[in-house]
Amino acid sequence: MFERPEGIENCRIWIDGCFDFAHHGHAGAMLQARQLGKELYVGVHSDEEILANKGPCVMRLDERMTAVDACKWSTKAIPDAPYVTDPKVMDEYGCKYVVHGDDITTDANGEDTYQTVKDLGKFVVVKRTPNISTTDLVGRMLLMSKNHHYPDLNLDKNWQKLVNEGDNLDRFTRYATDETGLKPGSVVYVNTPQELKLIVAPKATTDSDSTKYVYIDGGFDLFHPGHIEVLRLVHQRAQQLGAKVIVGIHDDLTVNKYKGLNYPIMNIFERSLCVLQCRFVDGIVLNAPYEPTKEFLGRIGNVIKVYHGPTEVDETVYDGVRGEGKGEEAKGMFETLPKHKYDHMSTEFIVDRVLQNKAVYVERQKKKGWKAEMEKVLEANERNKKQQE
């Protein structure tokens, strides 16, 4: 019913949404939309529009805009996009088609938010990313569940499961593509006790032996503006040094050891896709050690700098890459990044937002359930209409 139109590859594409939490489902939609056309404009709904049609959002508009801007497949983020997609707004930005997942989104009245553009033949369907949504993540916070965590990735059977389970390898490969979504881009490694294993190869370069790298590691849970701003600063420094940015991502057991409770809220597969989609990243290392050593960094290649954000960390963690003596000599390869506009933000900060408004978000979850039932009816009607054509 919504076939991909001829010549769409030469068009500017529109996609819109709440983009509450920068999870890999949002990135997957932007990736597929970007693959269809030459540019991607992303409409981001206002806090007020989301509240009226869906319930309260966790992340503020400026925070959600920061996340969309950081996605490498987004050409431009548009704030205050209407909740019900308006072809006039699309025309204003020169977008011929709107892309959305193969599910139905409804407004406060239970009506399809894309019905107008569907009727105009401007609607194109892509596959919705399964098993992840803002609703799922809020649910994990409210229920304090841990069954989404991966077991010890230092065991061969477990890291192989992470890489090869279901369509995981295909997802790693797709999220590692360049800004067009069509060509190889970022590199993906998994760190094992024996070696650094290449999972997804980067785009080919002629001088790979002389490539310089900078490194930063962390949990990157609920990938948020604090993470994004740190990666932007690292990317900025890497460009000045003529280097590429490699991000080490700690496994679920390590994050849980230091954070406790049911952290991480996102498992390592989900967190790694969030980092991979970021335009400031050239590669990732799954199961990165909590304490980076020169031996480990040597596995990556010529790492010239190791960074850490302005958040507090045990000083001994980076002893292996810290220099000796005083002044500049004491820094060695290691450098702490300066404070930034989102340095107050952390995973715990976001979870606190949800838990402090628990009653409101429980009601939001119920409302989402009611909307889901309405959306199932509309989807069934749409399938029947398609069969009759």
pLDDT at 313: 75
Whole-structure pTM value: 0.87
User: H-type helices in the chain, by residue range?
Assistant: 24-36, 47-53, 61-70, 87-92, 115-119, 134-143, 156-164, 168-175, 225-241, 252-259, 268-276, 294-300, 328-331, 347-356, 358-388
Q: Could you read off the pLDDT of 354-367 as tens digits, one per residue?
A: 777 766 656 655 65
List, for residues 194-227, the tens digit of each pLDDT value.
999 999 999 876 556 689 999 999 999 999 999 9
Query: Where are the CATH 3.40.50.620 domain residues in the chain?
Result: 8-130+359-388, 147-348
**Are 38 and 347 contacting, i.e. CB atoms less than 8 angstroms apart?**
no
C-alpha to C-alpha distance for 264 and 255, rounded to whole angstroms: 6
Give the SS3 label for residue 198: strand
CA quadruple 110, 16, 56, 348: dihedral sign: positive
- Considering the domain 8-130+359-388 in this protein, what is its CATH number? 3.40.50.620
pLDDT of residue 372: 46
The residue behind tokens 């390898």 is 169
Tokens representing 86 are 């308006």
Which token pair is 163? 């890489």
d(CA 246, CA 282): 6
Question: 147-348 in CATH: which number?
Answer: 3.40.50.620
Mean pLDDT of 108-130: 85
